[in-house]
Amino acid sequence: MSTAPTPDAAELASQVSGTPYGTLPPASPMASRKPISLPRLLEMRSRGEKITMLTAYDATFAAVADAAGVECILVGDSLGMVCQGLHSTVGVSLEDMRYHTESVSRGIRRAQGTAWLIADLPFGTYQESKEQAFRSASVLMQAGAHMIKLEGGGWTTEVVHFLVERGIPVCAHLGLTPQTVHALGGYRVQGKSDAAAEVLKQQAHALEDAGASMLVLEMVPADLSAELTRALQHCATIGIGAGKDTAGQVLVLHDMLGVNLGKMPKFVRNFMADGGSIRGAMQAYVAAVKDGSFPVNALHAW
Ligand code: KIV
C-alpha cells in the first residue's frame, strides 16, 4: 500500500497565501513593545507621557489598534450605538459586552498581545449591589478584560473598593455618563457651575481613595479636568471632551475614523484625513495625543 508523503511545516506554510476575512495573522508576530500593564500606565502618568485609548469592538480593529501603538483598548458600551444601532447605551447587556470583550481579547492576542484591555460594565449590571457588580465584572475579566469601567460617583465608591480589594482593576467614569443620559437631560457638558464642579471633585477624590486607578472624564470643562489631573495622586485621568491636560485621551473608534453620519461631537477630530488608512489614522491619533497637538482646548473642549 502506498502512502502519500506528509508535507513538512515549511511546505505547508508556502501553500498559505495570506489570512482572509479580516487578515488577522495566524499567530502572534514578535511584539514591537512590552505588554502594557497597570504599573506601566501609572508610570507613564507620573512621567507625564500621555496615555492613548481607543474603543474597539471586534478582533480585527483591536489587532490593528494594538499594532498601531494604542496603549489601552476600551470595549465601550458605546457598541450599543456604534454596532447595534441603539439610541443610547442603556440597552446593552452583559452578554453583549462578554461577546465583544472576548472577540477583542482574541484580536489583541493574535496581533502582538500588548494592549491593556478595559471593558465597560453595562447598565443594570452593577447598580444593585457590590456583589452584583463583582459577578458582572468576573464575566468580563474571564472574557479577557484586564480592567473594568463603571460610570458614576458617590454610590459607586463602595463598589469600586469592593472590586479593587478582590483584584479587579477599576476605571471610573465621571462627567457625562451616557448610561444616565435620560436623568442628565441629554449629552451636555457637566460640572459647569461651581456647585457641580465641587461635587465632581469630591467624587473623583473618593473614587481614587477607593482604589480606582483610572478615571474617564467626559465632557467636563478643560480647567476643571486640568485641576483634577494635578490633584489626583495615583489615578490617571483620561479625557474625552475634557481638554488637553488630562493624563490621557480616549475617542470612540468610529468617530475618529469619520464613520458617523450624524453631527460629529465637538471633541472629535477625524484622523482619517491625516492617516489615510485605518492603521495610519490610529498612528496619527497616537502621535497627536503624545505630542499634545490633540486635543486643542479652543476647538475640542469647553
Ligand atoms: O462606551 C464608551 O465608548 C465610553 C467612552 C466614550 C469613554 O465610555
pLDDT reported for residue 9: 45
Place of cell 492613548: 52
Q: Where are the domains of the chain?
A: 33-300
Whether a cis peptide bond, with omega within 30° of 0, leads into 35 is no
Read off the pTM.
Answer: 0.92
Residue numbers annotated as active site: 218
What grid cell was written down for 261?
A: 453620519
**Which atom from ligand 1 is nearest to the alpha carbon of 252?**
3
pLDDT reported for residue 109: 87
pLDDT reported for residue 27: 58
pLDDT reported for residue 12: 47
Q: Write out residues in the chain with pLDDT < 50, as ranges.
A: 1-5, 7, 9-10, 12-13
pLDDT reported for residue 113: 81
Determine which residue's CA is closest to atom 4 belonging to ligand 1.
76
118 — phi, psi (to 5°)?
A: -115, 140
Residues near ligand 1 (Cβ within 6 A) = 55, 74, 76-78, 120, 216, 218, 240, 250, 252
Measured CA to CA in angstroms, residue 83 lies from 45, 76, 252, 272 at distances of 32, 11, 12, 20
Determine which residue's CA is closest to atom 6 belonging to ligand 1.
252
Measured CA to CA in angstroms, residue 257 lies from 118, 201, 216 at distances of 20, 32, 21
* Domain 33-300 falls under CATH 3.20.20.60: yes
The answer to whether 53 and 250 have CB atoms below 8 angstroms apart is yes
Give the burial class of 193: count Cβ atoms within 10 A of its Cβ; 0-12 exposed, 13-18 middle, 19 or more buried.
exposed
Q: Which of 282, 105, 153 is nearest to 294 (CA)?
A: 282
Determine which residue's CA is closest to atom 3 belonging to ligand 1.
76
**Which atom from ligand 1 is nearest to the alpha carbon of 89?**
1
Start-to-end CA distance of the chain, whole Å, equals 80
Distance from the alpha carbon of residue 86 to the mean position of ligand 1, in angstroms = 14
